[in-house]
Amino acid sequence: MTPENQPENGIAKKAYGIIKAGGHSFKRATLGDIYTLIDERSNEAREHREENFRYLNTRIDSQVGEVRQELGKVTQRIDTLADRMDNRIDILSQKIDDQIGKVNQRIDTLGQKMDDQIGKVNQRLDSIMQILIDLSKQKI
């Protein structure tokens, strides 16, 4: 490879420096060069892994936020429906109470009419009894 074609990043440069494939010439790599190359690759892998974790954490936080918003909307809707039900129950309770009042009033009215009719029947019975008493006195 010509110098214009040499790689620019650190690991590729190091590898190019260790082995030159284009001219079939090999440079003797030292243990230090290998350790350096391994350290650089480990650091890149660690940075990549950390970047992936940051990305995943951001996505998770975003989705948790969306779920919380949806739960808030659902909770608000439930509260609205519960308020409507409470209002309807109050209205129905009032209507039932009104109907019970009307029924009780009707029962009271019928009770009074029955008492009046019983009073009239008793008066008639008293009149009939008096007539019978008067008739029995006349026969004697």
Q: What are the pLDDT digits (tens) for 20-40? A: 444 445 566 788 888 888 999
Say how far apart CA 89 and CA 36 lie, in whole Å: 78
Count of domains forming the chain? 1
pLDDT above 70 (res 16): no
Domain residues for the domain of 133 are 3-139
Alpha-carbon span 99 to 96, nearest angstrom: 5
Please compute the mean of the pLDDT values over residues 112-139 and round it to a whole number. 92
Instruction: Convert the pLDDT of each residue in 39-79 to its tens digit.
Output: 999 999 999 999 999 999 999 999 999 999 999 999 999 99
Q: Mean pLDDT across the stretch 76-102?
A: 97
Please state whether beta strands 25-26 and 19-20 pair in parallel, antiparallel, or not at all (unpaired). antiparallel
What is the pLDDT at residue 33?
Answer: 83
Burial environment of residue 93 by CB neighbours within 10 A (0 to 12, 13 to 18, 19 or more)? exposed
24 dihedral zone (left: phi>0; alpha: psi -120 to 50; beta): left
pTM score above 0.85: no
User: What pLDDT is stored for residue 19 in this prediction?
Assistant: 47
Number of other CB atoms surrounding residue 44 within 10 Å: 13
